[in-house]
Amino acid sequence: MDVLRPTLVRIGGRVYRKNLIQEQPFPQEEEEDFCAGPGDCADDDPCDAFVVEETERGFQSRVEVPSPLYKYIIGKKGETKKRLETETRTSISIPKPGVEGEIVITGQQRSGVVSARTRIDVLLDSFRKKQPFTHFLSFALNQPAIQEKFLQFKEEVLEKCSQDHGVSSSLFQNPAKLHLTLGTLVLLNEQEIQKACDLLQQCKEDFVDQITGGKPLTVEVAGVEYMNDDPAVTDVLYAKVRMKDGSDRLQVIADRLVERFVASGLMLKEWDRVKLHATVMNTLFRKDPTEERNNTMTGKSSFKERESFNGRNILKLFENFYFGEVQLDSVRLSQRFSSDTSGYYATSGQLSFS
């Protein structure tokens, strides 16, 4: 790791450097001032990033944690929890597995509670980032006319390019799940899902209604492009989208929604702006036809396991293929690995333009 460019961890509105250190054991007597003093925190301590309450027996801090993350605070045979309690001189109460609730940290000294809470926040942030995403914000592009043109595209590609390396029917998106992805989320309980739904509605009031004027956005889906540098070794082929009126309103809505979700902590920032595209062919589909076919936005796919295809002829023959015109009337909070009655992803919540 470059010590001049350490990994940054964003917690509670603050940014921490994640440095690699080698811990060395010290004699017990040298640890006496670890949590010295119940007074105010030092200027660089994150005391104002969360609430520490004074109680009859000392101090406490409560943190809402989705139950799937409890195990990372407990650790193998409870070792992580024991170490945290010992090193910070606190007591950490965790709800039973599967029961949603708060982790409560108590201690006689404020600095110990602050230290335990900060370390728990860092642990949770680290392990949350390792969780596969559960939901994503999307625009549905599965209207019947678009599906029909997509199936025509698939038929013609297989008819004219099936001899090209790696091209097969297993690469194509499920037409019922055609969509634009704005960003992915890890939502681990009903409270987090509700928080995302509430934020969508807040965004509608704050800026979406003003941009759309309460009317659907007319979008054209036309032309294909590839993700990587060499069209002969393609993993993702996507259809391009543009506003019919030539404006950038769709891009503005997408960027501002992602900005708000990142600021709330519900989404990680991946790009400076959203790349609006509809995946039509993806080598991930070849290995797992049940994959939610979301595209490559998570960056967690193992490319070495993918069998790329030669997309040169497809790009040459279908560069300007017209998939059709669509009215976008909502942003959906879509659930990964799911389907509704239309074949699209199940919707946990949505922001309607009208």
Q: What is the pLDDT of residue 214?
A: 96
Q: Please give the structure tokens belonging to residue 13.
A: 């509105």
In a domain, 20, yes or no: no
Task: Let me know whether 154 and 238 are in one domain.
Answer: yes
In a domain, 233, yes or no: yes
Q: Please give the structure tokens belonging to residue 87.
A: 């090193």
**Cβ partners under 8 Å of residue 207, min gap 6:** 253, 256
Query: What CATH number is associated with residue 167?
Result: 3.90.1140.10
Task: Let me know whether 213 and 77 are in one domain.
Answer: no
In a domain, 105, yes or no: yes
Among 131, 151, 172, identify where a domain stops. 131
pTM for the full model? Answer: 0.79
Collapsing DSSP states into helix, strand and coil, what is residue 17?
A: strand
Among 98, 131, 164, identify where a domain stops. 131
In a domain, 54, yes or no: yes
Among 87, 114, 131, identify where a domain stops. 131
Task: Let me know whether 217 and 272 are in one domain.
Answer: yes
Query: What CATH number is associated with residue 83?
Result: 3.30.1370.10
Give CA–CA dist 108/78, Å, rounded.
22
Q: Please give the structure tokens belonging to residue 63.
A: 């943190």
Task: Let me know whether 146 and 238 are in one domain.
Answer: yes
In a domain, 14, yes or no: no
Task: Let me know whether 148 and 114 are in one domain.
Answer: no
Task: Let me know whether 102 and 140 are in one domain.
Answer: no
Task: Let me know whether 65 and 94 are in one domain.
Answer: yes
Task: Let me know whether 68 and 172 are in one domain.
Answer: no
**Domain count within the chain:** 2
| Whether the Cβ atoms of residue 243 and residue 217 lie closer than 8 Å to each other | yes
Task: Let me know whether 158 and 259 are in one domain.
Answer: yes
Task: Let me know whether 98 and 195 are in one domain.
Answer: no
Give CA–CA dist 323/180, Å, rounded.
14
In a domain, 176, yes or no: yes
Task: Let me know whether 119 and 169 are in one domain.
Answer: no
In a domain, 190, yes or no: yes
Print pLDDT tens along the chain (354 aa): 455 556 666 666 566 666 654 444 434 333 333 333 334 454 445 555 789 999 998 999 999 999 999 999 999 999 999 999 999 999 999 999 999 999 999 999 999 999 999 999 999 999 999 999 999 999 999 999 999 999 999 999 999 999 999 999 999 999 999 999 999 999 999 999 999 999 999 999 999 999 999 999 999 999 999 998 899 999 999 999 999 999 999 999 999 999 999 999 999 988 899 999 999 999 999 876 555 444 444 444 444 478 999 999 999 999 999 999 999 999 999 999 999 999 999 999 999 998
- What's the domain range around 201? 135-286+307-352
Strand order in the sheet with 135-140: 179-185, 135-140, 330-335, 347-352
Collapsing DSSP states into helix, strand and coil, what is residue 61?
A: strand
Q: What is the pLDDT of residue 252?
A: 98
**Cβ partners under 8 Å of residue 267, min gap 6:** 183, 184, 185, 258, 261
Element (H, E) at 258: helix 249-264
Task: Let me know whether 322 and 238 are in one domain.
Answer: yes
Amino acid type, 69: L
**Minimal CA–CA distance to 41: which of 51, 31, 32?**
51
In a domain, 205, yes or no: yes
Q: Please give the structure tokens belonging to residue 210.
A: 């003003």
Measured torsion, CA atoms of residues 262, 265, 268, 273, in degrees rounded to the nearest 10: 0
